[in-house]
Amino acid sequence: MKIIASESLELLEFYKIKKHVADFCFSEGAKNKASQINIFDDHVQLTNELQRVAELKNIILSDSFFPNIQFTDFRKEVSLLSLDGSMLLEEQFLLLKASTEISNTVIRFLKNTAQSLPYLVQLANGLNDNKIIVSEIEQIIDIDAKVKSSASKELQKIRKLLSEKRRESDSKFNKQVNELRKLGIIRDTEEGFFNGRRTLAVMMDHKSEVGGFVHNKSHTEKTIFIEPAATISINNDISELEIDERREINRILRELTDTIRPFSYQLKQYYELLIDLDFLKAKAKYAELINASLPIISSNSELKLNKAFHPTLFLKNKEQKKQTVPLNIHLNAENHLVIISGPNAGGKSITLKTVGLLQTMLQSGLLVSMAENSVMSFFKHILIDIGDTQSIENELSTYSARLKNMLAILKDVNSQTLVLMDEFGSGTDPELGGAMAEVVLEELVKSKTVGIITTHFPNVKLLANKLDGVTNGSMLFDLETLQPKYILTIGEPGSSYTFEVAERVGFPKELIERAKAKIDNDKVDLNVLLAEVQQTKTKLNEAFERTTNEEILIKKTQEKYKTLLTNFNEKIESERERKIELIRLAEYGQKYLRLLTDWDKPEDRKAVIKRFIDGITAENNKRKEIVKQKKNKSFIEKKVSHLKLELKVGSKVTVLNGKEIGLVELIRGEKVNIKFGNLTMTVNIENIELVKD
């Protein structure tokens, strides 16, 4: 059995995800891979794929360097190269050269970044760059896709002769043109080309005056195109040389093909490497588009989705500048089933589709739109029953189809199965359908199946409260506006808001009251109670969120204030030090000026030099003292900081340079009260030594 049925993939609109990825692919090969994205059977391969996409996404987000992998498809050239006796043309060789250069760069890059890209580098395992292909092609083919004259002596000789013959032909042709132009027997266009040969555009009335070979004439039959007799012989020589040139070129190309042929398998590996990277990069770009990440992968069957989004809905809302409400849900061994209730159009089905699509994406090697601290696992089966499955062709009613789906699901459920079921037990008599739903729910509990189920049946909600491993949940609804909030809350079942919604859309109150009268009062009371509980919880959640936001705002404000205060104090201290430095420099300047004045006086200059040296010595001693004070201050600050951590009332201490041990009675900031027998004294904390037992 498949991990997920094709019908389920269609239901989840997985094809839209594939198209998005394909749009980011550059090569046709990668686009083809994107169109065939499917769930991995091998969990090791799946983990490697996810890690590679995550590595590429991080490169994209950090704007780090990654080699350009845009290339022209060269599968045809590789296939042709692998055939014995084949010959590649000039353009094909240039294509292989360019592809090899790209592959060489990629392989070297991956191997040089093996530590930072441990999963991507695996793609280059067993691959080496190939300089031979590039150098061999470069020796023969130039950048304009022409075989170089230096490729062989014979080709060089032929082209030299060709060049000489063409110059001679041009000279004779131009001479003929000048003569006939003076006679006025050729058109303004003067010449044309037929089969590679230059011809004169001669007026029909003068054709007999020009000797040569007639190649063509105009549609109006007023002009005839003649190859002059003077150039026919030399043009024949040129044609023959061109044939020789092509033969020599083909010989060289065959030889080059034979030289490159042994590398055909390596070139095939290069193609697969570039296709894989193009495909992975497309996945990474799509992940960036939907704010996707790689969740924590659990070996147990667990789903803990934090701030999860349906990717297609997220992009649609983003385009329309709407906010998408995130989904938060946690399923594990203790609570492996959630029964979601609430009004129609409240978000129950989209919750199922979000979980189903994200799980499918993950197991297909795609990152998922949720917070990084989310937890997911790999399931052996993803079983889905969402929507109206009535089949006209098979003459099955909605309920019959639902029963068949339930039966198929029950055959394959276990602790490694994810089940998503919508409108559980609907499609038949509510009481009987509810009873069947209870039985199926009990079987799912026994099998430890992980799943999410939506229902409107009160008995299913009540049963969920009694069964171990099952939790009720509901979609929040605003009773005042009667609008859904699309927020899933876990803990209590939800009301269907049947009468409230009817009133909201303008249903007559009289008919609503009559409908209420036909229902068991207990059911009405329960529905009202559920609605009130949910509304109260909504208000409490909103109040809690407001309080939390206010606390966060206060904390941010406090942190900002502390930062500003610190910066302000640092600026004051910096300014104070700057002023002291200016004063010091001013004093230096005055002393220096006095020394200069004294130096120019007619007195003993030795005395001036002595005053200069004494001044420098005094300043140097002053600097040493300042450094010493700073060190002492730093030492004291560290000591005080350390003492504050360890010092407490009752600690044994001594005063510096003292031997008597006292007990700490009181600590007030930097002051400490110490009792020595009957004597109590207050001491600064830096003057205390802690006595260790």
At 421-472, the pLDDT tens digits run 887 656 555 666 678 778 888 888 899 999 999 887 778 888 888 889 998 8
277-291, 386-400, 553-567: the lowest-pLDDT one: 386-400
pLDDT of res. 522: 46
pLDDT at residue number 516: 62
Handedness of CA 88, 92, 96, 98 (dihedral sign): positive
> Are residues 7 and 391 in contact, defined by beta-carbon separation less than 8 angstroms?
no
pLDDT at 308 over 80: yes
Average pLDDT over residues 616-640: 74
The angle subtended at Cα 163 by Cα 162 and Cα 164, nearest 5°, is 90
Q: With 60 as the cut, is the pLDDT of residue 509 above it?
A: yes
Question: Is pLDDT at 173 greater than 50 in this prediction?
Answer: yes
* Average pLDDT of the residues in 19-45: 95
pLDDT over threshold 80, residue 502? no
- Say if CB 188 and CB 181 are below 8 A apart: no
Under 8 Å between Cβ of 433 and 427? yes
62: left (phi over 0), alpha (psi -120 to 50) or beta: alpha
Q: pLDDT category, 245, cuts 50, 70, 90?
A: very high
The per-residue pLDDT for 39 is: 94
- Quick one: pLDDT band at residue 395, thresholds 50, 70, 90? very low
What distance in Å separates the CA atoms of residue 532 and residue 26, rounded to the nearest whole number?
55
The per-residue pLDDT for 429 is 55
The whole-number pLDDT of residue 217 equals 83
- Of 454, 97, 485, nearest to 260 (Cα)? 97
Judged by average pLDDT, the poorest of 284-288, 498-502, 582-586 is: 498-502
Q: What angle do CA 189, 192, 195 make, to 5 degrees?
A: 175
pLDDT of residue 435: 80
Average pLDDT along the chain: 83
The helix/strand/coil state of 269 is helix
Tokens at 195, concatenated = 């089969």
pLDDT at 208 over 50: yes
Residue 392 has pLDDT above 50, yes or no: no
Contact of 485 with 350, CB cutoff 8 Å: no
3-class DSSP assignment, residue 105? helix
> Residue 146's pLDDT band (boundaries 50, 70, 90)?
very high
pLDDT at 542: 63
Residue 99, classed as helix, strand or coil, is helix
- Nearest in space to 358 (alpha carbons), one of 340, 320, 331: 331
Give the per-residue pLDDT at 393: 39
- pLDDT at position 610: 72
